[in-house]
A and B are shown apart, each in its own frame.
Chain A
Amino acid sequence: EPEVTQTPSHQVTQMGQEVILRCVPISNHLYFYWYRQILGQKVEFLVSFYNNEISEKSEIFDDQFSVERPDGSNFTLKIRSTKLEDSAMYFCASSGISGRSEQYFGPGTRLTVT
């Protein structure tokens, strides 16, 4: 069964460093998303991406964040200068043309900023 994959599973970085989180969405999906979940809190929407551009972004997704689909398979989230409060699980999700809201999530990347 097709699934969303994410790498790395755990990333430790120092405050101020840049990180890139990578995702491979399900191959025939067209809509891509990033969410995050701070430990013990709700899953929060960060950004949606369709047709090579951002469809919507949340207040969390400030100028330090960017997304890119560099080729036909990868979808990346870059944080330019990490802060302690960026520590969280980051989930990539994708959905197909038949059900935009029917989103399939990857296993997540645990980002720890020290």
Chain B
Amino acid sequence: TQLLEQSPQFLSIQEGENLTVYCNSSSVFSSLQWYRQEPGEGPVLLVTVVTGGEVKKLKRLTFQFGDARKDSSLHITAAQPGDTGLYLCAGEPRPSNTGKLIFGQGTTLQVKP
């Protein structure tokens, strides 16, 4: 059974601080997605990474896919209160070719002004 473990599960920081969220597995993934989910709503896609070692930037957010395609990280620079929310990683396991995504349990981020 493929699992994605996110850490930390909860993070509370002050505005302006930097943070990193990790998504780890012992399994290889074809691709990995990061989503943000607000309470009572559906996950909103932030980014997809598909190549080992790939780095993508989205304004103050930097996403990295591990060289072995088993892990990923999300780094936020100078966090703002608007970044508060639940961040989910999700991966398409290999050798599945059906699009099935395995989700991590999520990291709840609270950014205090």
Interface residues of A (CB under 8 A from B): 4, 31, 33, 35, 41-45, 48, 50, 55-56, 58, 89, 91, 95, 99-108, 110
The 22 listed contacts between A and B (C-beta, < 8 Å) are A4-B42, A33-B100, A35-B101, A41-B105, A43-B90, A43-B101, A44-B103, A45-B100, A45-B101, A48-B98, A48-B100, A50-B99, A58-B100, A95-B99, A101-B33, A101-B99, A103-B99, A103-B101, A105-B42, A105-B44, A107-B41, A110-B40
CA distance A114 to B39 in the complex (A): 22
Name the B residues within 8 Å of A95 (CB-CB): 99
Q: Looking at the assembled complex, report how far the CB atom of B44 sits from the nearest CB atom of chain A, in whole angstroms.
A: 7
Residues of B in contact, count (CB < 8 Å)? 26
Binary contact readout B82-113 vs A (1 if CB under 8 angstroms, 0 otherwise): 00000010101000111111111110000000
Interface residues of B (CB under 8 A from A): 30-31, 33, 35, 40-45, 48, 50, 88, 90, 92, 96-106
CB < 8 Å: which of A31, A43, A107 contacts B99? Answer: A31
CB < 8 Å: which of A31, A100, A102, A108 contacts B41? Answer: A108
Closest to B90 in A: A43
